[in-house]
């Protein structure tokens, strides 16, 4: 039985002999090393480590050898660009997740038939620690644009807005409008623990916001508290109103957003931009700095939110 993954990274002559007469054309990226912050363990946060990529892509035959036309081939830049794009998208805990996303991004290219990805951490042990995967292009795989999450409306609720008698009516209107809605809150108006260590205080402040998210969820069962991008995407596709629990997305962000009680509105604005929201609505709150998307303000006791 042929070990396809092993052969993918073997010498081209070895693979040609093992797969003849059905060997496919391939392009490859070998020993591409990047400094990146990745990992599920606490010592891996706040620091970078070397990660090595090896990628092999089996491609459809073309007549590029006759025309010498670069537009008819799968460019090597596609491989490095796929890696760079996924590393920039968000901080990840698992090499498995990164390998999957890199492979699927490459397989979005029409010329790509099958993709082998090997990723190794070079600084976590006496040897290279890594994963290897193989993915094939699906015949009926939807284009990337169809798989993208919907663009939501992000609504920031002040504590007065959370407690407002208008909340049920606002939720009714948001449901009827049909635009995917994500609610954001700040911390409750109560004393919180104080730590002299900035990383610890950051987590305390984020947890304070999450506690208040559950307060909002307790006011109306339509408010579903979620913490991951996967949960948010699922909820938006299924018409659920969600309340953002920010710890995971904030702590995993490649470019750290503002955090803490004084920055809760600014954090919501950052989140709205990250989610490519159609707009952000501030109920009972004022903007905190500029926003790169449409922004509206309403009073905490307003009869209508939309």
Domains and CATH numbers, the chain: 4-144 (3.30.1130.10), 153-298 (3.40.1160.10)
pLDDT at residue number 25: 87
Q: Are strands 49-59 and 112-121 parallel, antiparallel or unpaired?
A: antiparallel
pLDDT at residue number 146: 43
Q: Which of 115, 112, 109 is nearest to 143 (CA)?
A: 109
pLDDT one-digit tens code per residue, 47-82: 999 999 999 999 988 877 677 777 678 888 899 999
pLDDT at residue number 279: 96
- Residue numbers in the chain where pLDDT is lower than 70: 1-23, 65, 71, 139-149, 258-262
pLDDT at residue number 213: 97
Contacts 24+ apart (CB under 8 A), 13-16: none
pLDDT at residue number 139: 55
CA distance 53 to 50: 10
pLDDT at residue number 143: 47
> How is residue 46 annotated by DSSP?
T
Q: Is the pTM of this model over 0.75?
A: no
Look up tokens 């995971």; give the residue. Answer: 248
pLDDT at residue number 82: 95
pLDDT at residue number 271: 94
């Amino acid at each position: 039985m042929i070990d396809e993954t092993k052969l993918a990274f073997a010498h081209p002559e070895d693979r040609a002999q093992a797969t003849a007469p059905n060997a496919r054309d391939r392009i490859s990226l070998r020993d591409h090393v990047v400094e990146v912050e990745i990992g599920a363990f606490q010592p891996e946060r706040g620091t970078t480590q070397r990660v090595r990529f090896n990628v092999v892509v089996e491609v459809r035959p073309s007549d590029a050898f006759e025309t010498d036309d670069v537009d008819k081939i799968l460019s090597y830049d596609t491989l490095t660009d796929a890696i760079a794009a996924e590393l920039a998208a968000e901080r990840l805990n698992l090499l498995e997740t990164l390998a999957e996303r890199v492979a699927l991004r490459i397989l979005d290219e029409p010329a790509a038939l099958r993709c082998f990805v090997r990723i190794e951490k070079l600084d976590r042990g006496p040897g290279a620690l890594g994963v290897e995967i193989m993915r094939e292009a699906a015949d009926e795989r939807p284009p990337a644009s169809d798989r993208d999450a919907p663009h939501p409306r992000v609504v920031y609720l002040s504590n007065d807005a959370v407690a407002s008698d208008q909340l049920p009516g606002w939720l009714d209107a948001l449901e009827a409008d049909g635009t995917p809605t994500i609610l954001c809150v700040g911390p409750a108006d109560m004393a919180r623990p104080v730590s002299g260590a900035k990383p610890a205080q950051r987590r305390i402040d984020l947890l304070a916001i999450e506690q208040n998210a559950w307060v909002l969820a307790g006011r109306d069962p339509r408010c579903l508290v979620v913490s991951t991008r996967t949960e948010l995407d699922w909820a938006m596709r299924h018409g659920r109103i969600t309340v953002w629990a920010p710890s995971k997305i904030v702590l995993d962000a490649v470019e750290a957003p503002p955090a803490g009680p004084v920055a809760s509105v600014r954090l919501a604005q950052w989140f709205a931009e990250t989610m490519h929201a159609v707009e952000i609505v501030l109920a009972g709150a004022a903007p905190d700095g500029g926003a790169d998307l449409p922004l509206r303000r309403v009073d905490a006791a307003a009869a209508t939110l939309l």
